[in-house]
C-alpha cells in the first residue's frame, strides 16, 4: 500500500498543471542569408525557412541563395542546440500545383520522398505545409476542389510515415471560420502533426472591403474572426490545445479610403499596403498624422489618419504580451509569427516581448 501511495503521489506531481509543456516560440523567416544575424534567434524554439517550392512532384529549394540561408539557419544550432529548423512549402501563391500533386498516390509519394531527402541533406528537423488553402478559393486562377481536404490528410499521413516519429510536422492553418470548417479533417490530421500554426492574422486581408482588426485577440459584435474564436472552434472540434500555436503579426495592414466614423474602424475601404514593425514608428507616427487607438473588446490596437483616410491594423508590444499570456493561460502549444525579418534589428523588438512575457510567467509560477 505504501508503494502504491508513493506511486500515486509521484504521478500526481508529474501530471501537475505547473509542469505543462514549454511554450514553443516559432518564427517564420523569409529574409536574406546574413540578415538572420540581426535577430535574437536564441529566443526561438523553432525557425521555419520560407519557402521551398514544388518542382514537378518534388520539394525543391529555389536557388543557391536559399541553400545558403538554410545552411545558415542550421548553423544556429551550434549556439542553440535545442533550436528546430523546419523547411516550409508554399505560402500565399506558393502552392499553385499542390492540388494536382497531392491528388495522386505517385505525386504524394514523390513529394514525401523528396522531403525526406532534402531534410537529410540539410540536417533540418521537419516539414511545414503552408498550403493556402485546401478546398477553398484562394489566389485568383488557382485550382481547388473538395477533394483537397482528403488529399491533405493523405499527404500528412505519408509524411509522418516517411519522415518518421522524430521529425516535426506542422502546417499553417487559416485562422478564419470557413477554413476551419472546410479545409482540414481535424480528427485525422491533428494526431499526426506536432503543431498547428494558426494564421490568426490577415483576418482582414488584401481582398477585404471593410476595415477591421487583422489580428485581434477577441471577437467583437462587428467582427467574429479573432485569435480566441479560432482557438475555441478548434477546442470544440476536439483538437488538442497543446498542438495549437497562435499567430502574431510582425507587420501592419493599412487600408485606404476609410472615413472618420469610429476612427476608420469597420468602415468601407481597400487595402493599401503593409508595413514592417521595425518601420511603424516612422511610417505610422503621430508626425505623419496617425492617432493611436486601443479596442478594449478586441484587445487590439489600431491607428487612424483622418487627413489621408488611412486605417492601420497591427500587433504592438501590448497586444503581443496579451497574446503570449493568453497562450500560456490556455496551455496552448505556443505562439508563432510572420515573420522575423519584419522585427526590429538586434533588440527592442516584438520577439523580445514574447520572451520577456514567458520569463515573467515562469518567475510567477516559481513563487
**Run means of pLDDT, 10 residues per run, the chain, 367 residues:** 38 40 96 97 98 98 97 98 98 98 98 98 98 97 98 98 98 98 98 98 98 98 98 98 98 98 98 98 98 98 98 98 98 98 96 97 67
pLDDT of residue 5: 39
- Report the pLDDT value the prediction gives residue 11, as an integer from 0 to 100: 35
Helix (H) or strand (E) segment spanning residue 347: none
Cell numbers for 21, please give them: 509543456
3-state secondary structure 136-194: CCCCCCCCCCCCHHHHHHHHHHHHHHHHCCCCEEEEEEECCHHHHHHCCCHHHHHHHCC
Run of H or E including 36: none
- Percent of the chain exceeding pLDDT 90 equals 93
What is the pLDDT, as a whole number, of residue 364? 61
| Confidence at residue 216, expressed as pLDDT on a 0 to 100 scale | 98
pLDDT at 273: 98
H helix and E strand count, the chain: 11, 14
Cβ(230)–Cβ(175) below 8 Å: yes
Residue of 78, 77, 94, 95 lying closest to 86 (CA atoms): 77
- Residue 17: the pLDDT is 37
- Say what the pLDDT of residue 363 is: 76
- The pLDDT value recorded for residue 366 is 54
Q: Considering the domain 22-250+314-366, what is its CATH architecture?
A: Alpha-Beta Barrel (3.20)
Amino acid at each position: 500500500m505504501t508503494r502504491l501511495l508513493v506511486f500515486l503521489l509521484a504521478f500526481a506531481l508529474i501530471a501537475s498543471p505547473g509542469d505543462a509543456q514549454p511554450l514553443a516560440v516559432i518564427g517564420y523567416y523569409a529574409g536574406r542569408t546574413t540578415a538572420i544575424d540581426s535577430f535574437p534567434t536564441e529566443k526561438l524554439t523553432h525557425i521555419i525557412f520560407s519557402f521551398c517550392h514544388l518542382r514537378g512532384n518534388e520539394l525543391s529549394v529555389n536557388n543557391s541563395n536559399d541553400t545558403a540561408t538554410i545552411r545558415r539557419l542550421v548553423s544556429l544550432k551550434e549556439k542553440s542546440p535545442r533550436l528546430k529548423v523546419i523547411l516550409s512549402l508554399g505560402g500565399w501563391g506558393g502552392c499553385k500545383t499542390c492540388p494536382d500533386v497531392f491528388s495522386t498516390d505517385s505525386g504524394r509519394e514523390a513529394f514525401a520522398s523528396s522531403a525526406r531527402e532534402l531534410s537529410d541533406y540539410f540536417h533540418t528537423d521537419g516539414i511545414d505545409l503552408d498550403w493556402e488553402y485546401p478546398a477553398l478559393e484562394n489566389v485568383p486562377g488557382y485550382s481547388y476542389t473538395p477533394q483537397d481536404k482528403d488529399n491533405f490528410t493523405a499527404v500528412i499521413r505519408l509524411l509522418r510515415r516517411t519522415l518518421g516519429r522524430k521529425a516535426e510536422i506542422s502546417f499553417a492553418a487559416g485562422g478564419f471560420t470557413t477554413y476551419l470548417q472546410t479545409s482540414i479533417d481535424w480528427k485525422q490530421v491533428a494526431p499526426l502533426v506536432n503543431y498547428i500554426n494558426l494564421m490568426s492574422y490577415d483576418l482582414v486581408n488584401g481582398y477585404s472591403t471593410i476595415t477591421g482588426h487583422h489580428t485581434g485577440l477577441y471577437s467583437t459584435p462587428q467582427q467574429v474572426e479573432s485569435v480566441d474564436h479560432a482557438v475555441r472552434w478548434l477546442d470544440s472540434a476536439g483538437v488538442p490545445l497543446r498542438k495549437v500555436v497562435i499567430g502574431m503579426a510582425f507587420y501592419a495592414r493599412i487600408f485606404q479610403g476609410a472615413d472618420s466614423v469610429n476612427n476608420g474602424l469597420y468602415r468601407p475601404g481597400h487595402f493599401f499596403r503593409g508595413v514592417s514593425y521595425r518601420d511603424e514608428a516612422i511610417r505610422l507616427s503621430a508626425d505623419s498624422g496617425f492617432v493611436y487607438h486601443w479596442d478594449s473588446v478586441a484587445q487590439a490596437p489600431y491607428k487612424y489618419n483622418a487627413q489621408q483616410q488611412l486605417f492601420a491594423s497591427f500587433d504592438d508590444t501590448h497586444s503581443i504580451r496579451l497574446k503570449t499570456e493568453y497562450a500560456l493561460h490556455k496551455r496552448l502549444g505556443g505562439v508563432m509569427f510572420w515573420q522575423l525579418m519584419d522585427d526590429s534589428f538586434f533588440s527592442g523588438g516584438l520577439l523580445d516581448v514574447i520572451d520577456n512575457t514567458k520569463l515573467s510567467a515562469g518567475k510567477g509560477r516559481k513563487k
